[in-house]
Chains A and B, each alone.
Chain A
Amino acid sequence: MAVIGVSTSQDNHPANVIYNKNHLRYPVKTFPVNPKGGMLNREPLYTDVGEIDEHVDMAVIAVRAEYVSSVVEQCIKKDVGGAIIISGGFAESGNIEMQNRLGDMAKEASFPIIGPNCLGIYAPDYVDTFFLPGERMIHPRKGNIGFVSQSGGVLVDQMVKFAGQGIGVSLAVSIGNKAHIRENDMLDWFERDIGTKVIAFYIEGFEKGEGREFIKKAETCTKPIVVLKAGKSKKGMAAASSHTASLAGDYRVFSQIMKQHCVAEADNEYELTSFCEALSCFPKGINGNVGIISLSGGHGVIAADACDLHGMTIPDLEKQTMDTIKANVEPGIQNIVSLVNPLDLTGSAIDSDIVTAARHLFRDPNVECIIALLIPYSPGVSADIGAKLSQVARNEGKPMIAYVPNEDKYSIIIEGFELNNIPVSSSVDGAVLMAKALKRCRPC
């Protein structure tokens, strides 16, 4: 990787931050370039990417806007694999012409360009072109979520949220002004990437007809797609000349079309996080019929209310389901459990009761998915409950979502779920949002 624009005098120049972190902490071989030459860390800088006598896979360009096109030319000449242009000062500052020229150059030479005005890419343990000092960043672990964002700030913020929930990323891309590589190109790329299971987008807007193209690709995409849309308010909408035009505002069109084509639209960043986690475990959708198991009546009701709010159904259970569960739980709780959905197994339940209830709830034809509200302070719950319930879900072949408070002392339960591909939320609401993700991504 060549980093072009490294400064000999400014240690915190974006190019220096990028060069340093990759050179020192990542396995990529990194070459510093500055047309003015000079020395950095007692090593001479290359003055032109052409001077590097090895093949260069990628160039990161952080020179002033007016020099970008000549640097890109040098990269094309050197047969570099592609470039990330960090530099700002293009369309966002009114220099649309300059940006269009850059896009045309890229297309003409089939030279992929990400940016300009972007942070570039972050691939855990591999490469990181974000110009944020490593010690300031919160890094999500390596995982299977591919994330594409027009805004660099939103991308970094989302990385913090992913890390907080233990969600891993395959590749995060900040596409900035999208002069060449755009959302649709990234969708194609992630569809082919075997390390990615869920493709997530932060989208501000599409160009003319680009939304239709996105939907066409989404229809044939084999992986769940999550989108978070910014710019939902009505401002800027021209006075409409017909009923239809005023009824079908830009955001309503976007939102309903995403729903029509089973792209899961997250309403906010919390949903985006929950959706990604749920869909990375369960790529197939449900219609929204949820069975709830709790050890406290209150939790069950809160979850049922949240399900209702988010448009999901808490179906009545077959009599046979309730009878079977009752017959198979410990005699001590047979007469105190409430077996109407949401189920309350009470604080006296032990592991085997929870496993029994989950197994038969899964077998009920009205239930498509279980939310298990596991309050680990209940005395009969053991550290193995996560692994045990995961096993039930796998055997029964339906999705399960767990709620366990995110505390260090419960981590063995959380891992018991997560290592067995059952998503865990640290809040009841979060667990419901995960179920909502499955509904949003209903198989068409």
Chain B
Amino acid sequence: MLNEEHKTDKKSKFGKKAKKIIETSRAQGWVLEPDAKEIMTLAGLGVPASVVTDSMTTAKQFLKDRGAPVVIKAVSKKILHKTEHNAVVTGIKSGDHLGNEMERLLNLDGCKTVLVEEMVDGIEVIVGAKNDYQFGPVVVFGIGGTSVEIYNDTAIRMAPLSPDDVASMVDSLTANQIILGYRGRCGINLEILTHFLVNFSYLVMDLEDKMESIDLNPVMCTKDKCVIADAGIILQSAAE
């Protein structure tokens, strides 16, 4: 009973906050990366340490505290596909470099703040969701990165997922050895991955009537964690 209450409480808290974030994103039809990551955090999924700021001092302090390297990204309602607008800079190690790039990003269309994040490494995977016309919310998982659309080595399952579904998704990938580890290279912790995907699939069910699709690409996975390096949520248009 106590457990149940705790659960409902947690869910309603998540629901309220997430709902508010989504409502404020309606105008542009998609959720800004820092907001999308907050929703993921509320759902219990890992994101990198970060700060959203327009102040050089704050950004530089973050670099100093967290240590190099960091990544900075423009936060702009006008920029959905950041790579195409050259709005992401990775591997920043010095305060000078940070300052120069931050200044450039702040001059991009609609950019008032930047997201400064610690850089995480690991095996790049894509985790996504789509509200399918015939089947409702589905989860996509596969080998991630920018060439994901070329290889399309992904598995699709109907949400919510069971741990067995995750196992069969991993199993069905052509490049599943990358995930399992090969030639002495460390793979991904499957227990953590399973937990991540199952949790994500329940989040997707909660957002069923709000989202059109979600991209977490890449999620950086190692033998001890899965961290979302980039997140985007496309909302359903009001007409739907």
The chain A residues found within 8 Å of chain B, CB to CB, are 205-212, 215, 241-248, 250, 252-254, 256-257, 260-261, 444
15 A-B pairs within 8 Å (CB atoms) are namely A211-B135, A212-B158, A242-B212, A242-B213, A243-B149, A244-B129, A247-B149, A248-B156, A253-B132, A254-B134, A256-B155, A257-B138, A260-B158, A260-B165, A444-B164
The count of residues in chain B whose C-beta lies closer than 8 Å to any C-beta of chain A is 32
> For residue B217, which residue of chain A has the nearest CB?
A243
> For residue A205, which residue of chain B has the nearest CB?
B134
Contacts of A247 in B (CB 8 A): 126, 128, 140, 142, 148-149, 152, 154, 156
Instruction: Report which residue of B134, B148, B154, B214 has the largest number of chain A beta carbons within 10 angstroms of its beta carbon.
Output: B134
B45-85 vs A, CB cutoff 8 Å, 1 = contact: the mask equals: 00000000000000000000000000000000000100000
Tell me the interface secondary structure of chain A in the complex. Answer: helix
CA distance A256 to B134 in the complex (A): 13
At the interface, yes or no: B94 with Cβ under 8 Å from chain A? Answer: no
Question: Are B128 and A244 interface neighbours, CB within 8 A?
Answer: yes
B162-173 vs A, CB cutoff 8 Å, 1 = contact: the mask equals: 001100100010
Tell me the interface secondary structure of chain B in the complex. Answer: strand
Instruction: Report which residue of A210, A241, A242 has the largest number of chain B beta carbons within 10 angstroms of its beta carbon.
Output: A242
Chain B: minimal CB distance from A259 (Å): 8
The chain B residues found within 8 Å of chain A, CB to CB, are 80, 126, 128-130, 132-136, 138, 140, 142, 148-149, 152, 154-158, 164-165, 168, 172, 212-215, 217, 232, 234
10 smallest A-B Cβ distances: which pairs? A244-B128, A211-B134, A211-B135, A206-B134, A256-B156, A242-B213, A212-B136, A245-B213, A242-B215, A244-B213
Question: Are B128 and A248 interface neighbours, CB within 8 A?
Answer: yes
Contacts of A215 in B (CB 8 A): 135, 158
Chain A: minimal CB distance from B68 (Å): 29
Question: Are B215 and A244 interface neighbours, CB within 8 A?
Answer: yes
- A sample of 14 more A-B contacts (CB under 8 A), given A206-B135, A248-B154, is A206-B134, A209-B134, A209-B135, A210-B134, A215-B135, A241-B234, A243-B217, A244-B128, A246-B149, A247-B156, A248-B128, A248-B138, A253-B156, A261-B158
Contacts of B217 in A (CB 8 A): 243
Chain A: minimal CB distance from B207 (Å): 13
> For residue B155, which residue of chain A has the nearest CB?
A256
> For residue B30, which residue of chain A has the nearest CB?
A241
Question: Are A257 and B129 interface neighbours, CB within 8 A?
Answer: no
Question: Are B149 and A257 interface neighbours, CB within 8 A?
Answer: no
CA distance A242 to B130 in the complex (A): 9
Q: Which one of B132, B136, B165 lies within 8 Å of A248 (CB-CB)?
A: B132
Contacts of B135 in A (CB 8 A): 206, 209, 211-212, 215, 253-254, 257
Question: Are A252 and B134 interface neighbours, CB within 8 A?
Answer: no
Chain A: minimal CB distance from B139 (Å): 9
Contacts of B164 in A (CB 8 A): 444
CA distance A241 to B158 in the complex (A): 20
> For residue B159, which residue of chain A has the nearest CB?
A212
Contacts of B132 in A (CB 8 A): 211, 248, 250, 253
> For residue A244, which residue of chain B has the nearest CB?
B128
Chain B: minimal CB distance from A124 (Å): 32
Chain B: minimal CB distance from A356 (Å): 36
